[in-house]
A and B are shown apart, each in its own frame.
Chain A
Amino acid sequence: MANLTMIQAITESLDQEMARDEKVLIFGEDVGKNGGVFRATQGLFDKYGENRVNDTPLAESGIGGMAFGLAVQGFRPVMEIQFFGFVFEVMDSIVGQMARTRYRTGGKLNLPAVIRSPFGGGVHTPEMHADSLEGLMAQSPGLKVVIPSNPYDAKGLLTSAIRDEDPVVFLEHMKLYRSFRDEVPEEQYTVPLGKAAVAKEGSDITIVAYGYMVREALKAAEQLEKDNVSAEVIDLRTVSPIDYETIVKSVEKTGHMVMVQEAQRQAGVGNVVISEVSQRAILSLEAPVGFVSAPDTVYPFGQIENTWLPNAKDITAAAKKAVEF
């Protein structure tokens, strides 16, 4: 066991997977000698050489095409998009090409690529760095979309993502990179894709969250505890496909639910979670499902970020409204 930040856990997963499988290749903008703009690939260039960890030209679409062709040639590409706001440059490669390949070839050809990319607010980045665009990915058949909320999950989920036979978008929240440490086993382990985790058990209300919002949901749960409301916090971990079983089981127990996302209300995956819960567990619900999200504007200018982003206070209020309905 070591006490690691999420970024260290990510590096450890990459390092161990590269050591285990020589077909794993890492590439992107400044991931080589520089070790990535967040140090996620620190030391890997020196350890594995330029053919396995290499700096590409500055062109996201080209990076996506490279991942595609490398996968056809039997490699397991782990490409990086420096910030997920830049995904628009490479939407075709991810959604139009990689995600469709297995279907398109009648199951003959699969595309085992991982698309790693940082996103998320609260660290005062410039424009188009922090946007939550996981909803676009989650709406694309053929992709798995993973968003860890802590160092332990980050390592295990990334290892699973690299070993998965299909394209996985792995989104890393920038505010979680170094904000806290976790006990992380040194040996390799996997956390299954498509499975949610109960981050905290409770009996009065189910709070479903992912990414940095899991931290805020846990803070809210602590506050609610003081007011004698026992909240169960579910961390989705994978936002496509979603583990409805775990959510429904919890809602059947608590009878109340709040969905929490950092993305705008019209974006993210909250709407689909609420829709599925209403189809699967309406008779268990004692109140309308609450929805905590950002307002439907463009991602905010840096100085108003903290007013705009949803937080523990919003979650506490929504949870109280639901249980007092």
Chain B
Amino acid sequence: MAKQPVDYEALLSSIEASFPMVQILDKDGNVVNKDIMPDLSDDELVELMTRMVWSRVLHERSMALARQGRLGFYAPTMGQEASQLASHFAFKKQDWLYPGYRDIPQLIQHGLSVPKAFLWSRGHVEGNNYPEDLHAMAPQIIIGAQYIQAMGNAVGQKFAGKEDEVTFTYTGDGGSSQGDVYEGMNFAGRYKAPIVFYIQNNGYAISTPRHKQSAANTLAQKAAAAGIPGVQVDGMDPLAVYAVSKQAREWAAAGNGPVLIETITSRFGPHSTSGDDPTRYREQESFDYWAQRDPLVRFRNYLKEKGLWNDEKEEELIEKTKEEIKQAAKEADQAPKMKVSEFLKNMHGEPGQNIIEQIEKYEAKESK
């Protein structure tokens, strides 16, 4: 019998071997890979922890506000603090963020006010009306669309000759199955555009587990189809997420093209506040396993060990954050009532006959 032209098994295992997971802190906060330890000052380490705790409080308060009917759509973030906040920490103010609908913490850290974030959740246009200097798009609901748009944004930065300015965007494990996610990465590779793509793999797309999305062993390896570097990182490890993000940003900003980063993470709660119950599709073991890998626990241990953090400091921070969020919710209540005539005016710069007629009609109605 003739020899098979290709050894498929060898091929598959060679692909897997090319995408190892990057980790710096283990689940207890011990340093397991000091060679790649990022160069962060004590102040920066504390700032990163501060943001992660802030995000956890924002999550808890958002859940409570949603239950009270004071928020609308909210996609929980608890568990993804390292993946979201430590990745964002590697980017600069001038960089452009194209977030998915779960990426509110990054948006706020990039400059969106909390009241505006709450208005987005409630369904108020002011939540999407961003100040000029905020380099970000509103959260994207169409899963994958942010990938192709962010790609176009990065191509634009390149064509405009902008230096030290990149784009970064996020999707989830389910999103990695979308055509736009592949197209975004592939175009970005073709144009060598300065962009970092994130797949936050939290194991579930609503109720569909990761293994039902793809036979690929990692999602990072999807980068190979675009001919760009792909990295898998422990998404519960803030230092590893930060380290690979910083490297990716530098690589992109230097004109080398895009990078894909898969963060292995977990959401501790439901998919959204729109009434899904994660215990229907997730075993208790899964919650237990990930609870032991809480990014806050391991980073807290690491910082306490270095004498940079204590419980008192954290309590103070939590109280301060709760108060700020309370004020933000109140401020959001002050937003002006929306008007149909305003929306009609925001359809086109130069409206057609249909819009002009309808503005008249609605303005008459609204003045009554």
Q: Mark B335-367, 1 if CB is under 8 A from A, else 0.
A: 000000011011111111111000000000000
Q: Which of A30-38, A235-243, A290-298 lies at the interface?
A: A235-243
Q: What residues on A are CB-neighbors of B350 within 8 Å?
A: 164-166, 193-194
Partner of B125, one of A75, A106, A242: A106
User: Judging by beta carbons under 8 Å apart, are B142 and A92 in contact?
Assistant: yes
Q: What residues on B are CB-neighbors of A81 within 8 Å?
A: none
Partner of A73, one of B125, B130, B157: B157
Any chain A CB within 8 A of the CB of B302?
Answer: no
Q: What residues on A are CB-neighbors of B179 within 8 Å?
A: 61
Answer whether A107 and B345 are a contact pair too, CB < 8 Å, given A62-B148, A93-B148, A241-B353. yes
What is the count of residue pairs linking A and B with beta-carbon distances less than 8 angstroms?
Answer: 145
B13-55: which have CB < 8 Å to A?
none
User: Judging by beta carbons under 8 Å apart, are B138 and A105 in contact?
Assistant: yes
CB distance from A119 to the nearest CB of B (A): 22
Partner of A68, one of B148, B186, B342, B343: B148
Q: Which of A40-48, A51-59, A309-317 lies at the interface?
A: A51-59
User: Judging by beta carbons under 8 Å apart, are A61 and B180 in contact?
Assistant: yes
Partner of B346, one of A25, A107, A194, A245: A107
**Residue on B with the closest CB to A112?**
B349
User: Judging by beta carbons under 8 Å apart, are B187 and A59 in contact?
Assistant: yes
User: Judging by beta carbons under 8 Å apart, are B346 and A65 in contact?
Assistant: no
Answer whether A69 and B347 are a contact pair too, CB < 8 Å, given A62-B186, A106-B126. no
Q: How far is the CA of A230 from the CA of B342 in the complex (A)?
A: 44
User: Judging by beta carbons under 8 Å apart, are A102 and B148 in contact?
Assistant: no
User: Judging by beta carbons under 8 Å apart, are B353 and A73 in contact?
Assistant: no
User: Judging by beta carbons under 8 Å apart, are B159 and A57 in contact?
Assistant: no
Answer whether A142 and B353 are a contact pair too, CB < 8 Å, given A66-B151, A69-B154. no
Answer whether A62 and B353 are a contact pair too, CB < 8 Å, given A69-B150, A106-B125. no
Any chain A CB within 8 A of the CB of B129?
Answer: yes
User: Judging by beta carbons under 8 Å apart, are B129 and A75 in contact?
Assistant: no
B99-126: which have CB < 8 Å to A?
125-126
Partner of A105, one of B128, B148, B342: B128
Any chain A CB within 8 A of the CB of B66?
Answer: no
User: Judging by beta carbons under 8 Å apart, are A56 and B149 in contact?
Assistant: no
Q: What residues on B are CB-neighbors of A108 within 8 Å?
A: 128-130
Any chain A CB within 8 A of the CB of B155?
Answer: yes
CB distance from A121 to the nearest CB of B (A): 27
Give the interface centre of B152, B345, B352, B355 by most chain A CB atoms within 10 Å.
B152
User: Judging by beta carbons under 8 Å apart, are A65 and B151 in contact?
Assistant: yes
Q: How far is the CA of A97 from the CA of B342 in the complex (A)?
A: 20
A154-179: which have CB < 8 Å to B?
164-166
Give the interface centre of A92, A96, A107 by most chain B CB atoms within 10 Å.
A107
Any chain A CB within 8 A of the CB of B330?
Answer: no
Partner of A142, one of B152, B153, B156, B348: B348
Q: What residues on A are CB-neighbors of B355 within 8 Å?
A: 241
CB distance from A113 to the nearest CB of B (A): 10
B126-179: which have CB < 8 Å to A?
126, 128-130, 137-138, 142, 145, 147-157, 159-160, 167, 179
Q: What residues on B are CB-neighbors of A67 within 8 Å?
A: 152
Partner of B353, one of A75, A92, A104, A243: A243
Any chain B CB within 8 A of the CB of A144?
Answer: yes
CB distance from B163 to the nearest CB of A (A): 14
User: Judging by beta carbons under 8 Å apart, are B152 and A242 in contact?
Assistant: no
Q: What residues on B are CB-neighbors of A141 within 8 Å?
A: 347
Partner of B347, one of A25, A59, A142: A142
Any chain B CB within 8 A of the CB of A70?
Answer: yes
Any chain B CB within 8 A of the CB of A103?
Answer: yes
CB distance from B354 to the nearest CB of A (A): 5
Any chain A CB within 8 A of the CB of B183?
Answer: yes
User: Judging by beta carbons under 8 Å apart, are B149 and A97 in contact?
Assistant: yes
A77-109: which have CB < 8 Å to B?
92-93, 96-97, 102-108
User: Judging by beta carbons under 8 Å apart, are B129 and A103 in contact?
Assistant: no
Any chain B CB within 8 A of the CB of A72?
Answer: yes
User: Judging by beta carbons under 8 Å apart, are A97 and B142 in contact?
Assistant: yes
User: Judging by beta carbons under 8 Å apart, are B155 and A144 in contact?
Assistant: no
Q: What residues on B are CB-neighbors of A73 within 8 Å?
A: 152-153, 156-157, 159-160
Q: What residues on A are CB-neighbors of B126 within 8 Å?
A: 106
Any chain B CB within 8 A of the CB of A150?
Answer: no
Additional A-B contacts beyond A62-B186, A69-B167 (4; CB < 8 A): A93-B149, A142-B347, A165-B349, A242-B353
Q: Which 9 A-B pairs have the closest CB atoms?
A: A69-B152, A65-B148, A241-B352, A73-B156, A69-B153, A62-B183, A165-B349, A66-B152, A106-B129
| 13 CB < 8 A contacts A-B | A61-B148, A65-B151, A66-B152, A70-B155, A70-B159, A72-B137, A75-B160, A97-B142, A104-B125, A106-B126, A165-B348, A165-B350, A194-B353
